[in-house]
Amino acid sequence: MQYLSSSQIEQIEQLTRQWLENIVIGLNLCPFAKSVYIKNQVRIVIYDDDLEGLPQFVQEELLYLYNTPDTITDTTLIVLPQLLQDYLAFNDYLGVMDSVLESMNLIGIFQIADFHPDYQFAGTQKDDLGNYTNRSPYPILHLLRENSIDRAVAQFPNPETIFEKNIQRLQLIGREKWMELMQMEGEISKKYSQLAKYVLE
């Protein structure tokens, strides 16, 4: 596996931020994301080493969060542009991440959420619209503080309706338009912003 150049890493981070800003936040798929993102409390790291070293890397990132106030860094996205491109392999690997949390005695303090270009919820068909809420430009491991989740849920009325509202937004967009937008690079930010304005009106 080749290491990424600095320009490649910069491009990957830029596309990840565009996805966050224009899809996750712009379409309000996660109503908790905006408050920490605008405060620069979201850490994005690009991992370009091999799979063998990933558990140690995740441990180091968890320790960083553990030792850092949430007012400085609330959450971390570990982006994997060269690993686990197959969704089934990625999904199976999440068991290794659970083992990392357990070995560090961090169950109940942190959790690891996941995003993937081919994300698929259990019991769904690959092209079901609900799967697109968790689809991202690259495989991503999302390190979350449990107490931050609890605070966010407490401030949001009827959190159980989030998924239903997301489906309604995706139905407005349509599958073909969504796929087209997810693959764009050049004008991606502008087009995502236009889409968000249309869906949220």
Q: How far is CA 104 from CA 11, 53, 109, 121, in A?
A: 33, 16, 10, 28
Residues composing the chain: 201
Give pLDDT tens digits for 115-166.
999 999 889 888 888 888 899 999 999 999 999 988 888 877 777 788 788 8
Helices (H) and strands (E) in the chain, counts: 8, 4
Instruction: Kindly report the number of other CB atoms within 10 A of residue 47's CB atom.
Output: 20
pLDDT tens-place string over residues 59-111:
999 999 999 999 999 999 999 999 999 999 999 999 999 999 999 999 999 99
Rounded Cα distance, 184 and 179, in Å = 9
Give 181's DSSP letter. Answer: H
Q: Which residues pair with 76 in a beta bridge?
A: 43, 143
